Amino acid sequence: MIKFSRYYFLFSILLFLTEILIALYAHDQIIRPYVGDFLVVILLYCLAKSFLDLPTRLAAFGVLLFSYLIEALQYLNLVEHLGLKDSKLANTIIGNYFTWIDILAYTLGIFLVVIVEKFRDNYSARIKKGNDDRLHHFI
C-alpha cells in the first residue's frame, strides 16, 4: 500500500509551484479562483499517489470527497467558527466561502485525472503487449 512514486512526486512539486505562482501573481477573476481549484485536486491526487499505491478510481474518489468536504466546511464558515477569520493561512488552506463553481472545478479536475490515467494505463498495456509480442517472435 505504501510505495514511493518519483513520477507522481515530481508532478506534485510542479503543481505545487504552479499553485504558489497563481496565489502570488494571479489576481484576476478566472485563473486564481477556478484554475487554482481545478489544479489543486490534481495536486492532491498526485501527492496521494506519490506515497500510496492506490487504484486510480479510489485515489481520485478520495481526493474528490476530501475536496467536497473542504467546500462544505467553507459553507459552514469553519474558519470563522474557529476564530481564524483574520488568518491568511487558514483562509488560503480552508477557504472562506462556498461556491458551486468550486465543486465543478474540483469535479472537472478529477475527471481529467481519470481520463489521463486511463490513457496512460492503455498506453502502458499496449507497450507491454508489444514487448511481449516481440519476445515471442524472438523465441
In the chain, the number of structural domains is 1
Non-local (6+) Cβ contacts of 48 within 8 A are 54, 59, 62, 63
For the beta carbon of residue 18, count every other beta carbon within 10 angstroms.
16
pLDDT tens, 112-138? 999 999 999 998 888 877 765 554 444
Residue 10 placed within a domain: yes
Residue 1 placed within a domain: no
* Res 139 pLDDT > 60: no
pLDDT tens, 21-71? 998 999 999 998 899 999 999 999 999 999 999 999 999 999 999 999 999
Residue 124 placed within a domain: yes
Residue 130 belongs to domain spanning: 6-138
Q: C-alpha grid cell for residue 134?
A: 516481440
Interior angle at CA 85, CA 81 and CA 86, nearest 5: 150
Q: What is the pLDDT of residue 92?
A: 80
Amino acid at 115: I
Residue 58 placed within a domain: yes
Residue 112 placed within a domain: yes
pLDDT tens, 89-104? 888 888 888 999 999 9
Residue 52 placed within a domain: yes
Residue 85 placed within a domain: yes
- Give the separation between CA 108 and CA 62, rounded to whole angstroms: 15
Residue 83 placed within a domain: yes
Place of cell 487558514: 90
